[in-house]
Copies of this chain bind each other. A is one copy, B any other.
Amino acid sequence: MARNSSHTAGLRVQLPLLCLLFQAAIVILFSFFVRYNHETDSSLWHQSNHSIMDNDFYFRYPSFQDVHTMIFIGFGFLMTFLQRYGFSSIGFNFLLSAFSLQWSTLVQGFLHSFHEGKIYIGVESMINADFCTGAVLISFGAVLGKTSPVQLLLMSLLEVTLFGINEFILLNLLGVKDAGGSMTIHTFGAYFGLVLSRVLYRSQLDKSKHREGSVYHSDLFAMIGTIFLWIFWPSFNSAITHTGDGQHRTALNTYYSLGASTLSTFALSALLNREGKLDMVHIQNAALAGGVVVGTSAEMMITPFGALVAGFLAGTISTLGYKFLMPILESKFKVQDTCGVHNLHGMPGVLGALLGALVAALATHQTYGEGLEKIFPLVAKGHRSATSQAVYQLLGLFVTLVLASLGGGIGETR
Write the residues of chain A forming the contact surface with B, with a CB cutoff of 8 angstroms: 1, 8, 11-13, 15-17, 19-20, 22-23, 26-27, 30-31, 34-36, 39-47, 50, 52-53, 55, 57-59, 61-62, 65-66, 68-69, 72-73, 76-77, 80, 86-87, 90-91, 94-95, 98-99, 101-102, 105, 121-123, 126, 216, 219-221, 223-224, 227-228, 230-232, 234-235, 243-249, 251-252, 255-256, 258-260, 262-264, 266-268, 270-271, 273, 275-278, 280, 283, 287, 301, 303-305, 308-309, 312, 366-372, 374-375
Contacts and interface: CB of A to CB of B under 8 A. Distances in A.
A249 B41 contact: yes
A131 B269 CA distance: 28
B248 A40 contact: yes
Nearest first, the 5 closest Cβ-Cβ pairs linking A and B are: A12-B276, A43-B369, A42-B371, A46-B370, A98-B262
Given A102-B260, A252-B122, A268-B16, A94 B232 contact: no
Contact of A371 (B11, B46, B86, B277): B46
Given A19-B266, A219-B87, A259-B101, A39 B95 contact: no
Contacts of A366: 43
Determine how many copies of this chain the complex contains: 3
B40 A277 contact: no
A259 B369 contact: no
Nearest to A269: B16
Contact of A305 (B13, B34, B278): B34
B248 A55 contact: yes
Contacts of A287: 94, 98
Contacts of A42: 245-246, 249, 301, 367-369, 371-372, 374-375
B30 A308 contact: yes
Given A23-B312, A27-B260, A62 B61 contact: yes
